[in-house]
Amino acid sequence: MVSRDGVGTQGLVGTHGEPGPGAVAWDPSRTGELLRAPRPDDHKYRRGVLGVRTGAAAYPGAAVLGVSGAWRTGLGMVRYVPPIGESAEFGLPSAAAAVLAARPETVFGEPTGRPCDAWLIGSGTDSEARPDAETEAIRSLLMGDAPVVADAGALDVAVETLMSRPPSPVPVILTPHEGEFGQLWHDSGLESAPTLTGVSGRAKAAARLATRLGATVLLKGSTTVVAGPRVPGGEQAPVFTVGPATPWLATAGTGDVLGGVLGALVAAHAERVRRDPSLLSALGAAAAHLHDAAARIAVGNPERPITAMDVADALPAAVAALRTR
């Protein structure tokens, strides 16, 4: 099949291994259903506003990649808020300066009027170097009313907050890789080490951690697993598996782009997510699929090495190829 832009969609689906007990292979057609094209009566706020609090003095590129991933997925506004206490080091520009140079359409600073529809936090930040004021700022977002995508350096605060906050909180999706997942497992007080062997083992572990924390968990890997928490008194929500992804994605910074993609999708559907937090699982799976689709476009045929920014730059073509409305 070929999209209106002439981009073949056949190679964007990828292959799907057996998901294992309790897991469902993501239906690629559902990604297109979640990619909303702007309507004639839309304006930038109606298309979604994502707040981004990422990057660090040592990793300004993480902020650029996440912001770029969000913009290129297609939403109305990205607002970048530099983490407190961050200043340039090693002769690098500050994260804010790097974002401004790469994406001048970005709005900067804390929202003073209309709030952000969703937040992306933590990518490219160091929890050990984080000042107390930034920890409190992250905790405030996790206790707020806008859905949150928590990555990397914000995961420790997310677990602490999720384990102590009251019922019916803001919807949160965590995006750990395997190493971070193991730390989250330990910090959440679960006994013994998680079994992450095979898709089935990863799916069961992700579902258990999601239920423990009352949040959605996106476990990154060649095959990404997305699990929502069990509803009290109900059954476990579907656990989606996406992949295997192209192995060319195994390069620095692609996880930051994925965070931006996911943040954009959550911001675009924030009102629905507030009403039904279980939608985060589908949005996480759609983000992983779109991320892989963009990487496959960037890799091309014959295949060639890519960087994380190549994936971000290929997102518009992937959106056009997959979108169904």
Of the candidate ranges 73-82, 94-103, 230-239, 311-320, the one whose mean pLDDT is the lowest = 230-239
- Closest to 269 measured CA to CA, from 82, 135, 132, 74: 74
Residue-wise pLDDT for 163-194, tens only, equals 997 765 789 999 999 999 999 999 999 988 88
CB atoms under 10 Å from CB of 305, counted, come to 9
Residue-wise pLDDT for 21-56, tens only, equals 579 999 999 999 999 889 999 899 999 999 999 999
Q: 3-class secondary structure for 168-207?
A: CCCCEEECCCHHHHHHHHHHCCCCCCCCCCHHHHHHHHHH
| pLDDT given for residue 88 in this prediction | 66
| Residue 86 pLDDT grade (very low, low, confident, very high; cuts 50, 70, 90) | confident
| pLDDT given for residue 156 in this prediction | 97
| pLDDT given for residue 93 in this prediction | 85
Residue-wise pLDDT for 284-320, tens only, equals 999 999 999 999 999 999 999 999 999 999 999 999 9
Looking at every residue in the chain, the average pLDDT score rounds to: 90
Residue 28 to residue 235: CA distance in whole angstroms: 24
Quick one: how far is CA 178 from the chain centroid?
Answer: 15
Which residue do the tokens 């806008």 mark? Answer: 146
> Are the C-beta atoms of residues 214 and 230 closer than 8 Å to each other?
no
CATH code assigned to 18-172+238-322? 3.40.1190.20
Q: For residue 163, how many C-alpha atoms fall within 13 Å in the half-sphere facing its CB? A: 15
Is the peptide bond between 28 and the residue preceding it cis, with omega within 30 degrees of 0? no
pLDDT higher for 1 or 259? 259
First-to-last CA distance in the chain? 16
Long-range contacts from 33-37, C-beta under 8 angstroms, 24+ separation = 33/324, 33/325, 34/265, 34/269, 34/282, 34/283, 34/286, 35/74, 35/286, 35/290, 35/319, 35/322, 35/323, 35/324, 35/325, 36/268, 36/325, 37/323, 37/325
